[in-house]
Every structure is written in structure tokens, then in C-alpha cells.
Structure 1
Amino acid sequence: MPLIVGGVALVLALGIGMNAASNANKAQDMVNATNDRLSTALRELNQMQERTQALPDTISRLEREVRNELAQALEKARNDVAGIEQRQARRLETLEEGLTALQDDSARPHREWQVAEVRYLMRIADHRLSLMDDAQGALAALNAADEMLKAIGDPRFGEVRDAIALEKQALENYDGTQVSQLVAELEQITAELRPMPLKMPEAENGAARLLMVNGEPAEDAAWWERAYFQVMNELNQHVTVRRHAQPVRSMPDADAELFMRQLLALRIESARLAALRLDAEDYRANLKGAQELLVEYFASEPVAPLLKRLQDLEQRELRAERPDISGSLEKLSGLEG
């Protein structure tokens, strides 16, 4: 009987212990889950704090962008308004002059001569620009034509004066030839020329040939064959024969480098003189010749920046594109025709 009671007590104790262990595991799982949720909440809180800290910088950047856009829009609006005001002022001025001129009918034949002179001045302006590349002379002729139209005072010529104003602005912005800038860059390149390493001669495929082509003589070979093999074997240790596809150049020295550098400077100087003559073909030919000298005779890596500058200069145009100043004459001819 006591044994049975003890067994029952043992079973009960084991059941209670297992239940307690299960409850402990569940409690540990709950603690772990709670810790995970707490860690996630802390990370989200940190991210929110970082975004909150970056918010003033974002607002400042957006404010700067808005200010810049507003400033650009205001500047464009001011320019547009200024252009409109100028056109209106010219038309008002033309109307006032026209009202004054209409009071005297005897002035009409004289106005026809004035219009013919305006047309002649416009042709002179176009010829000065297209044939002589004289932007200042063309601008002076257009100024004279505009003053004469202003004096005529005919409201019909308002669009012609607007076209003349645009053409005058284009002439003022026209640089003509770009020779001065190109010449300055070529002079700077010549002044910056320094000693540069020449290209070293290279062997074809690095192939080396031995003086001996036959194998080692047999043991019963004649004594002179064995002696010949021994002598040639010694020579092979000190002599190497190489074959080249082109004639072998001598090792470059300071005199050769100086000569090639002076030849390069001569090519660049010839390109500069061709630019001054506005000879685009000779200009590009000399720059291409200078590039060929660099590629053929100088080490590639040290001269790469200079080669790039010469290539860029070769692509540049000696003359800027001329503006079209024929629109005002076409408008005047349309009114008179």
C-alpha cells in the first residue's frame, strides 16, 4: 500500500513538473515575442526621429528650389515685358511721326525716295556681312535704315522696325571669326611643350631565336661536331637573335627627342598661321600631322592629354555661323510689293 501511494505521488509530481516546464516555455516565448515587438517599435521610432531631423533640411532645399524657379520666372517675365514695351514704344513713335508727316501731303514723294534709300541700306548691310564679314559695318547700315524709317513715321513699317531690332541684336552678339581664341590656345600649347619620352623600339612578338638549330650530337659523333656544339651552346647564353617586321630603330636619345619636339612645335605653329589666314583646310592638315607625330614617335601615355587637346582643336570651326539679316528687307519688299 505505501508503495502504491508513493507511486501515485511520484506520478503527480512528474505531471506537475512537466506542466510547470510547459508554462515556463510559454512564458519565455511570450517574453521573446514582447522583446521583438519592442525592438521593432524602437527601430521605427529611430527612423521617425531621423526623418524628423532631416525634415528642416528638406524644407530648406525645397524653399531654395522654389525661390530659384520664381526668380527665373520673374526674370523671364521682366524680359518679355521689356521686349513688349520696346515694341510698343517703337510703334507709338512711328505713329506720332506718321501723324506729323501726314499733315504735309507734299512730303509723300520724298517718303518714296526715303523708302528706296532704306532698302538700299538694308542691301548694303547684307553685303557687308555676307561678303566682307563686317558685322560692325552691317550694324551701322541697319542703324541708319532704322533711323530713316523712324523719320518717315509710317505705321506700316512697325513690323519692319521690329525685324531690324532683332537683326541688330543678333549682330551685336555675333563674334565673327573665332580665330583669336584658337590662336591663343595653340600658343599656349606651344609654350607648354616640355621634353616627352619617345616610343621605344619593340620586337615582333618578342620572339627570340637561338643560334643553334640542331640537337645535341651523338656520343659517337666526330670531335669537331661536339666542339662546335659546345661553342655554339656558350654563344646562345650571351647572344639573342630577334626578327622585326620593320627596320629596327636606334634607341632614342635627347637629341632625337629635341628634334621631334621641334618638329611638333613647327606643325602647331603652322596650324596657328593657317588659322590667322582663315585657311581651314591647312589648319586641320597641320593639326592632324601633329597628332600623327605624337602617335608615331612619342610614348602614348604621357602625350595622351596633348593629343586630346589637338583633336578637340581640329574639330573647332574658324568662323562662327553668321546671323541672317535678310528678314527686314523681305518684310519691306512685301509691304512695297
Structure 2
Amino acid sequence: MTDKKTNNDTPAENGSAAAKPANNKPGQASAKATKPQTSAAKEAAKKPTPEKAAPEKPAATQPTAPAEKKSGSKTGAIAIALVIALGAGLYYHGHQQTQAQNAQMAQLNDQIAAMKQQLAASQQDTLGKVSQAMQRTDVTVEQQEKSISSLQMALAEMKGRRPNDWLLAEADYLVKMAGRKLWLEHDVVSATVLLESADNRIAELNDPSLTPVRKAMNSDITALKSVARIDRDGLVLRLTSLQEEVANLPLANAIMPEAEKVEEAAVSTSVNDWKTNLMTSLKNFSDHFITYRKRDGNVIPLLSPKQDFYLQENIKSKLETAIKAVYREEGELYGKSLTMAKEWAEQFYNQDAPATQSFIKTLDQLAGERIEASYPTHLQSQPMITDLISERLRNQVKPISTEENPA
């Protein structure tokens, strides 16, 4: 009885021992989710060997042991599935997080690259603006230095001038004005007066060293006085009066060439020639009713009022061209214009009228006037007085000494 009890107890204990590992396996599976091979080995250990299964049949507790084994196996499988699902979820979540982090990192890298480009562009722009500002500053400084230098020269010039140097400067100005009057306006009279005034200014200095300058200036004055004087204003006034006189010129009548002279037959005193005398008398009587004369040459008809107006305007236009030629000193154009006006006056106006005769005579007188002159190409005194001004006034100018650049 004791042996049987022992035998019966042994399978029970074996069953309980087998149940304990089954009950402990879910805890171990949850604690060690990453070791599926160890769990499989424990599952294999749970299965009873054939030797132990044979004596368990007669025992009273044999039906509960397989149920516990099956329940433990299902629990382990569920635990393993949960662990695998949890691992897969964690892996998927980690993978999604990694992708999101990578995308965020790429976006941040793009932003950093864009910011670097903006920073580089801003840096280049700033450098360019700074360079331009430095260039402007250099130009401003250079201009200020030139201005300071000119002020220093002006101050030194004021200190170094002689009391009467202004007379020399005025003489230089007068000589230059004389040159402009001579070459630009061909005004010989004004140029001569200006040179004489300049000579008087130099004479007031009473400086023997200026004798060569005065000598050259007097030579220029003599050369200008030898230039032929042209009374341009007088010529222009006379031409203008002719323009006003054109409207008063009388037109010529129709001009016809001379007719051939016809000899009239004379009546004789002899009675025997009564027939001839009768025929001659009848012929002379009939000539008073119808006259036929033969003329050779061109007939100039009378002008209409419209043609008369155009003729007057054409003559005035030629006289206006002559006026412009006087100021420009164009002798050829001046002569052609007056010649054309004279031809029209002789052709279309009454030559017996005193107004026409006076008009044509005045045109002949004006055509004989000389409107061109030969002017000096240069003034001897101008370069001499300019050099004197440069030598006397500007050579004494010295810049004021400074600490950086001592004189």
C-alpha cells in the first residue's frame, strides 16, 4: 500500500513539476522576448517522455495534467505572438521616427544651405557697398585736398603780389578781349581801342622790364590800324533804304521794237501827173484808217499787279542776301546779289523815271564797295603778357607748409 501510494504520488509530483515550468514559462517569455530559441527548447522539455506517461494512467489526477500543459502552451504562444507584434510595432514606429527625423534633417540642411547662400550674397553686397563708399570717400578726400591746395595757393598769391600787379592782370584781360573782337567779330576798331587801353595800363606800372611787351603791343596796334576800314553799318543802312525804295519804282510801259520806216509818195505840181497825184492822195488818205507796220524783235508786255508784287519781293530778297554777305564778308555773293537786282530794275522799271535812275546808280556804287579785309593771324603781345603773368604772379605761389608735408 505504501509503495502504490508512493508511485501514485510520484506521477503527481512529476505532473506538478511539469506544471510549474509551464506556469513559469509565460513570465520567462515576456521577460525574454528576444530569445525565441530558448522558449522553443522549454516547450520541448514540457512534453513527457513515454516512460513517465505509462505509470500516470492509473492515477486519479491524470486528466488535469494535459489540460494544464495545453493551457501553458497556448499562453506561451500568445505571449510569443504578442512579443513579436510588439517588436514589429516598435520597429515600425522606430522606422517611421527615423524617416521623419531624416526628412527633418534634410529640410534643416536645405534651410542651412539657403541661409548660407543668403549670408554670402548679403556679405558680397555689403562688401560692394563698403567698396563704393570707400571710393566715394577717396574722391571726396581728393577733392577736398585739391580745394585746400587751391586755397593755399590763393592765400600765398595774395601775400606775394605786388601792389600794382592788378594793372598787369587787367592789361592781360584787355589783350585777350582784343583778340576775340578781332577774330570772332572782325571788329578792328574795338580791338585797336582795347590794345591801346592795355598799353596805357602797362605804362602806369612804370616798369622798364615791361618795355618788350609794350613794343610788341604797339606793333599790334599799328598792324590793326593798317587794316582797311569797312563801314558795315553804313553799307547795311544804304541797302535797307533801297529795300524800302523798291515799292516806289514805276513800272515800264509795254516795250515794242522800232517799226520799219515807210516812205510816203509826194504829190507833184505838174498837171500832167494828175492821175499819179490822185492815186497818191487816195493812198495817203486810206493809210489813216488802217495802218500796218512791220517790227522785228521781242515785245515785253506790261506786268500784272501780282507779277509786280513778286518782282518787288525778289529784288528785296537779293538786297537782303547782300546785307548778310556784308556781315559774313562774302564778296562774291555780295556782288552777284546786287548785279541781279540791277538787271531786274533795268528790265522791268521805267528807265526815264528819276527814282529808277537813282536806284540803279546807288546799286552801282554799292557794288563797287569792298567788304573783305585781311586781318592779322595773331597778336604778338598776347603770348608775351600771358607768360609775364605766369612768371610774376604764379611762380611766387607756394603751398602752405603742414606737419605731414613740410614745405
Task: State the TM bucket, normalised to the shorter chain.
Answer: 0.3 to 0.5
Structure 1 length as normaliser, TM-score? 0.42
Structure 2 length as normaliser, TM-score? 0.36
Q: Which has the larger radius of gyration?
A: 2
